Amino acid sequence: MASDRKKVHFGIDPQTREIVLGKWRMALPSSPLPRILIGLLLVVGGLLGFLPVLGFWMVPLGLLILSHDIPFVRRQRRKLAVWWARRRGAQNSSGGSDAGA
């Protein structure tokens, strides 16, 4: 089971309902209402990131939490993940083809 937990590097682990950011994990409430409230507070707080205590890092974390319960946010997060994977794949493959030329 430890190997299953290591596969998720970023996102929400569906088995444990934990936010996973590399080696860092944080448990989420099991009820959707507190999760949505936490996500919204993080997004709103992140938009006020220019203030001393808050930071812009809160926006993506809030959207990640919201994507667990809101289908629209989940679809947008998945589209971004697929785009990012394709972009990284294209950069890696183009780098390899240039080296052979």
The pTM of this model reads 0.69
| Residue 100: pLDDT over 50 | no
Quote the CA–CA distance of 85 and 98 in Å, as a whole number: 20
Of 4-8, 21-25, 33-37, give the range with the top mean pLDDT. Answer: 33-37
The model's pLDDT over 1-21, given as tens digits with 9 standing for 90+, comes to 454 545 657 778 878 878 888
Among the residues of 1-101, which ranges form H helices? 2-7, 32-47, 58-66, 71-100
The model's pLDDT over 37-70, given as tens digits with 9 standing for 90+, comes to 999 999 999 999 888 878 888 898 899 899 989 9
b/e string for 51-71 if b means 16 or more Cβ within 10 A? eeeeeeebbebbbbbbbbebe
| Residue 25: pLDDT over 50 | yes
Domain assignments of the chain as residue spans, ordered by start? 2-95
pLDDT value, residue 101: 44
